[in-house]
Amino acid sequence: MKRERVEHSRNSHGSPLRWERPLQSPPTTAKDAALLNGVLMRTKEAPNSSELVTYAPFTLFPTPVPKAVFQQALDVQTHYNSLVDKISQNADFLQEALASTVEVDDFTSRLFKIHKQILKEGSSQSVVLGLNRSDYMLDQKEDGSSALKQIEINTISASFGGLSAGIVCVHKHILKVAGRLEDSMAILDNNPAAGLARAIAKAKELYRSVRAVVLILVSDTERNIYDQRCVEMELMKLNIFTIQRTFEDVHARGSLDKEKRLFIDGMEVAVVYYRNGYVPQQYKSQQDWDTRLMLERSSAIKCPDIATHLTGTKKVQQVLAQPGVLERFFPNELQVVEQIRATFAGLYTLDMGLEGDKTVAMALQDPERYVLKPQREGGGNNIYGSEICKVLQEAKGSDRTMYILMDKIKPTPSHNYLLRRDSPLTISNCLSELGVFGAYVRQGTEMVMNEQVGHLLRTKSSVHADGGVAAGVAVLDNPLLY
């Protein structure tokens, strides 16, 4: 009887993980487990059809992650929630931080124009709902230890809070079948969608209309629909009804009444949960921008509101890393400042002037040390290596201020198998990125909810410099703590 043998680099105790069982194909067993546990995506061939689906890409085995840095990421999340909320309320800071960016970046400029319009009119809603995800990599130090360093914080459409629960079940099953019961039991339960839904439910409760619905704003092409459905299902458990609509739907059938209440198809909307609208391509016409403004002007609770959306820009991230800036938001909380600042990588301005000129010279001298980041979400936008030199040398005048420069984080690679539809099973040299989900609700000046609600591990082959799961580069994973 032929026996298959598949090896993973290390388990939580440092010994190799092996699959050595008769009559069971590791990838087939894993894929079946993914399908059984709802780790699903629609296919490229039929992105809007639920008649033909496949498993979302994932690792065959969980990836070892140091327990200390994992806990550090969880512990700092509520502080990041508070920081995002404090920045969103500080119009002067946003104006100052984004002044150079809005001059050259059309997308950020359009968002900021809406922000200014809302400031002029005055907000129609005192309740703020934030669902975000802070992403990190583990930077390898010279002594062999790892330091947690933030890549970015996503304040709009933070995804894979739903499929994260299913991939836990998949890896628990795989480890059991591989004969690693102890490691299987060590995989942490994780259901971010439940926490995200709990925050949406709290916000809706504060809206004080039992019959109002939650509007999930989606794109007209959505392969990652099942991740969104997980949040919907968690809301249904709480007896909250959701509807999915596009910008076009809202424009055609949505309206505001004299009290700025939002209605669509005759239903009052309590919460607008954006799973669309975070990249320029998702605004196909001026009509879509007009619709975004209408949503922001409404008394519905936006997740995120326009100020919180802007808070997630890379430029704000870079400004926060400057000396003394965090203290503006936590003036008497030195420990909080230290916890947040410990996660910062080196971040450098490209604004016009001596400091920006120094950054350009630094990048041109040794581009392999850095990443050039535009004000974009969704993965696949960052610039590396010689391309950094090309972009900076070709940038005219203030065009360089569309970007920030960041130290390139260098994590320790691991070995794993990346399971993708129609791809051969080969071992890959892999890099992983840890995300932590945060959820908060504020009413007026009172923070009524502020929680860390789960985590996400994504892994990609080291041959890829950038890109997430939705972009087709990274795959879903789980941390195996050691």
Which residues are catalytically annotated? 133, 152, 154, 159, 314, 373, 377-378, 458
Contacts of 281 (CB under 8 A, 6+ apart): none
Binding site feature residues for Mg(2+): 152, 154, 377
Measured CA to CA, the distance from residue 303 to residue 81 in angstroms comes to 13
Please give the single-letter amino acid code of residue 155: T
Task: Quote the tokens at residue 10.
Answer: 């290390």
Point out the annotated binding site.
133, 152, 154, 156-159, 222-224, 228, 275-278, 314, 373-382, 384, 406-409, 433, 458, 460, 466, 469-470
Cα distance between residue 227 and residue 214, in whole Å? 16
Q: Are 12 and 186 in contact (CB under 8 A)?
A: yes
- What residues are designated binding site for ATP? 152, 314, 373-382, 384, 406-409, 433, 458, 460, 466
Would you state the structure tokens that stand for residue 215, as one six-digit string?
């509007």
Which one-letter amino acid corresponds to residue 220?
D
**Could you give the 3-state DSSP secondary structure of residue 390?**
helix
**HSE of 312 in the Cβ direction (CA atoms, 13 Å)?**
26
Binding-site sequence positions for substrate: 133, 156-159, 222-224, 228, 275-278, 469-470
**185 exposure class (CB count in 10 Å sphere: 0-12, 13-18, 19+):** exposed
Q: What is the rounded distance in angstroms from the CA atom of residue 437 to the CA atom of residue 194?
A: 11
DSSP state of 400: G
Torsion (CA) 284, 287, 288, 292 in degrees, nearest 10 = 160
User: How many residues are present in the chain?
Assistant: 482
Q: How many other C-beta atoms can be found within 10 angstroms of the C-beta atom of residue 434?
A: 24
Interhelix angle 334-341/67-88, rounded to 10 degrees, is 110
